[in-house]
Amino acid sequence: MISLQQDPQGFIRMKRHFPSSVSIAIEFTDGTREIFAGTVLNGIYDEALAAYRAGNHLDAKGFKRGPSKKQQQGIEFVQVSPGMGQPLPSP
């Protein structure tokens, strides 16, 4: 099990995917603790990366298709909140 702690701004450090089979315990700033499956946290990371790329006009691989400039290719921090690791209720 991997243990992470949320920073005061609501983010955890996550530079890449975690193994799908691992459990990740996140301690939130309000003192609560939640267990996330690796696949769930990887999905949250993918959504944050897609939003970053869209907001910075990058393509799906993270490249800017314009004049060459040094551009950050990914993200290092992902915003999480209590309850994100729980499955959604079915209708």
pLDDT value for 71: 54
Measured CA to CA in angstroms, residue 65 lies from 49, 50, 69 at distances of: 18, 16, 10
What are the boundaries of each domain within the chain?
2-61+75-79
Burial of 78 (0-12, 13-18, 19+ CB in 10 A): buried
pLDDT string in tens for the chain (91-residue length): 899 999 999 999 988 899 989 999 999 999 899 999 999 999 999 999 888 888 877 777 776 666 665 555 678 888 888 888 765 454 5
Question: Is this structure's pTM higher than 0.85?
Answer: no
pLDDT value for 88: 45
